[in-house]
Homo-oligomer: A and B are copies of this chain.
Amino acid sequence: MNCATVGAVTQAGRRPGGSGTRAAILAAAREQFADKGYGGASLRTIAAAAGVDPGLIRHFYGSKDDLFAAALEVPEEMAELMVRALTGHPDGLGERVLRAYLAVWEDPAMAGPLLAVVRSAVTSERAAERLRTLIGARLLAEVAPHLGPDGDVRAGITAAHLMGIAVSRYVFRVEPVASLDREVLIGVCAPVIQAYLTGPLGRN
């Protein structure tokens, strides 16, 4: 959605607070945070990119920090899906977790925002801090207790391995992982995720 479109919508008398406008603001925010980092993005440039007045963003989201939190909502949705997968029955857990994770990254509605959040977190310490808190609070606190005494290490290493698959396959798109058949990838990695989550941990 560009300035002209938003202008037309507004002129047609529709509320500028429609979900299309909010989506345009969040999309512009993710793009600006990803490109310029938290410090470099401003409500003014985000408003310009979304084709709305900065006052409207303040009205919907409050401060830049609140907008940033709203822009991170997709990972929170993802975290919820992952928590559900991770706390399921131990049988076939590795495969279910890996399938849920790949499905999120392969859903176009989630992949774009996710990628923007990863970009922000890699380039901005503030964004990294938010992602840390999100992963820490949602995944480790809710998942770890289900995984026994070393649950935090199991959850953390699993998250690290999943992150590596996503970075390789969807962010850097390094071959052969980028175009590896999904079922082959699951066949190779699900047993490892299963072992990290439920098997004997390490050599000791």
Show the binding face of A for B, using Cβ within 8 Å: 34-35, 37, 118-119, 121-123, 128, 131-132, 135-136, 140, 152-153, 156-157, 159-165, 167-169, 171-177, 180, 184-185, 187-192, 195-196, 201-204
Knowing A164-B165, A168-B159, A187-B204 touch, does A174 contact B132 (C-beta < 8 A)? Answer: yes
Assembled-state Cα–Cα distance A61/B34 (Å) = 29
B156 and A174 form a contact (CB under 8 A): yes
**Closest A-B pairs by Cβ, 9 of them:** A164-B164, A187-B202, A160-B168, A188-B202, A156-B177, A163-B164, A160-B164, A122-B122, A156-B176
| Residues in chain B near residue A119, CB distance under 8 A | 122-123
A135 and B187 form a contact (CB under 8 A): no
Assembled-state Cα–Cα distance A182/B169 (Å) = 26
A11 to chain B, nearest CB (A): 35
Knowing A123-B34, A153-B188 touch, does A167 contact B172 (C-beta < 8 A)? Answer: no
> Which of B152, B177, B201 is the one whose CB lies under 8 Å from A157?
B177
Contacts A35-B37, A128-B172, A187-B204 known; 6 new A-B pairs at CB < 8 A: A119-B123, A131-B174, A135-B172, A136-B174, A162-B164, A191-B202
